[in-house]
């Protein structure tokens, strides 16, 4: 089979100290996105296991699989988990969730956990949409702006380009800097039109790296306009899959003239982490009520 360049690594992680064994309360969050699904398990408000995988055609099944995978090597079972919250685009499709919360609130809360309480502006660059969020020191949303009308400036667009140019997704960032001179950004932000434009550039004899650079800077500019509308305040953090793409992140930093923070964990799981933290708060409230 031909190599699938768009395919990113699915993996799971667990705390080597096995903190779940001595935890008083276990909670979980499942973020069923349009492209990826993450499950995060928290022991008394600290991350102890997570899994990140692709969302299949069956959302309830993806949610279940991600949860099973996160728990697999911990020896825990789902009934040990006190409270589960579903979030993301497919949040209504998490069959074992006690409640759903929008991904906007969850990403703000997750970013607060990953980047610390000083983070005020969060940009969630997901698989199929992009959200700019402002939050307070507790991770409560104070303003948000969502752009979900089209897939421009999202992870799906990056996947399309990885496939078109036969470049593994993880290498796009580095390769996009191997250019003599920063090229003009592609003028279309629509993924389909941008792809058409990129094919044209390739036919003109542009090297791959230049096309990648042109697309990354177009994407950075697109999300910049979103942030500009909402207003940016430091500190600034990016969540979602694109946060791992230096080609977009560094160009965005340059445009904003502001450095993005370095996350404690994979920024892609921020939504699930936020959901698990909400679950922790709600379970505590329930216990004292």
Secondary element (H or E) of residue 172: helix 172-175
Stretch that binds another protein, among 36-44, 88-96, 226-234, 248-256 (CB under 8 A): 226-234
Stretch that binds another protein, among 35-43, 99-107, 205-213, 254-262 (CB under 8 A): 99-107
Residue 232 as a binder of another protein (CB under 8 A): the answer is no
Nearer of residues 226 and 258 to another protein, judged by Cβ = 226
Residue 233 as a binder of another protein (CB under 8 A): the answer is no
Nearer of residues 52 and 100 to another protein, judged by Cβ = 100
Stretch that binds another protein, among 46-54, 98-106, 114-122, 201-209 (CB under 8 A): 98-106
Nearer of residues 52 and 154 to another protein, judged by Cβ = 154
Residues 121-150 that bind another protein (CB under 8 A): 134, 140-150
Nearer of residues 4 and 136 to another protein, judged by Cβ = 136
Residue 92 as a binder of another protein (CB under 8 A): the answer is no
Nearer of residues 148 and 178 to another protein, judged by Cβ = 148
Measured distance between the N- and C-terminal CA atoms of the chain, rounded to whole angstroms: 57
Alpha carbon separation from 37 to 11, 95, 117, 130 (Å, rounded): 11, 14, 26, 16
User: How many residues bind another protein, per CB under 8 A?
Assistant: 21
Q: Which of 266, 220, 227 is nearest to 31 (CA)?
A: 266
Stretch that binds another protein, among 7-15, 70-78, 205-213, 221-229 (CB under 8 A): 221-229
**Rama region for 276: left / alpha / beta (φ>0; ψ in -120 to 50; rest):** alpha
Around Cβ 230, how many Cβ atoms within 10 Å?
16
Per DSSP, the three-state class of 37 is strand
Residues 245-284 that bind another protein (CB under 8 A): 278
Report residue 85: phi and psi, to 5°: -120, 135
Q: How far is the CB of 265 from another protein (least distance, A)?
A: 22
Alpha carbon separation from 234 to 45, 118, 161 (Å, rounded): 25, 8, 31
Q: Answer yes or no: are the C-beta atoms of 97 and 85 closer than 8 Å.
A: yes
Of 60, 80, 96, 102, which lies in the binding site for another protein, with binding defined by CB under 8 A?
102
Q: How far is the CB of 11 from another protein (least distance, A)?
A: 29
Nearer of residues 89 and 115 to another protein, judged by Cβ = 89
Q: Which of 55, 52, 10, 6 is nearest to 169 (CA)?
A: 6
99-100 sheet: strands from edge to edge: 11-14, 46-54, 36-43, 26-32, 83-87, 99-100
Secondary element (H or E) of residue 218: helix 208-230
Q: How far is the CB of 123 from another protein (least distance, A)?
A: 14
Nearer of residues 25 and 230 to another protein, judged by Cβ = 230
Q: How far is the CB of 149 from another protein (least distance, A)?
A: 4
Per DSSP, the three-state class of 34 is coil
Nearer of residues 72 and 229 to another protein, judged by Cβ = 229
Q: Which residues bind another protein (CB under 8 A)?
A: 101-102, 104-105, 134, 140-150, 225-226, 229-230, 278
């Amino acid at each position: 089979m031909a190599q699938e360049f768009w395919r990113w690594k699915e993996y799971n992680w667990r705390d080597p100290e096995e903190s779940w064994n001595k935890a008083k309360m276990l909670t979980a969050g499942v973020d069923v996105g349009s492209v990826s699904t993450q499950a995060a398990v928290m022991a008394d408000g600290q991350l102890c296991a997570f899994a990140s995988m692709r969302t299949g055609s069956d959302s309830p099944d993806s949610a279940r699989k991600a949860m099973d995978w996160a728990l697999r090597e911990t020896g825990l079972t789902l009934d040990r988990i006190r409270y589960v919250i579903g979030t993301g685009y497919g949040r209504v499709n998490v069959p074992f969730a006690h409640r759903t919360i929008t991904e906007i609130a969850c990403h703000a809360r997750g970013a607060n956990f990953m980047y610390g309480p000083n983070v005020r502006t969060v940009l969630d660059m997901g698989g199929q949409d992009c959200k700019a969020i402002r939050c307070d020191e507790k991770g409560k949303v104070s303003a948000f702006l969502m752009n979900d009308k089209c897939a421009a400036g999202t992870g799906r667009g990056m996947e399309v380009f990885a496939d078109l140019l036969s470049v593994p997704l993880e290498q796009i960032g580095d390769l996009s800097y191997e250019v003599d001179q920063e090229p003009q950004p592609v003028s279309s932000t629509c993924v389909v039109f941008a792809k058409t434009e990129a094919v044209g550039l390739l036919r003109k004899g542009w090297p791959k790296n230049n096309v990648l650079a042109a697309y990354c800077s177009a994407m950075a500019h697109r999300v910049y306009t979103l942030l500009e509308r909402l207003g940016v305040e430091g500190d600034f953090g990016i969540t979602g899959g694109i946060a791992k793409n230096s080609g977009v992140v560094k160009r965005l930093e340059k445009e904003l003239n502001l450095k993005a923070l370095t996350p404690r964990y994979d920024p892609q799981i921020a939504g699930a982490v936020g959901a698990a933290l909400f679950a922790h708060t709600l379970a505590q409230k329930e216990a004292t009520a």
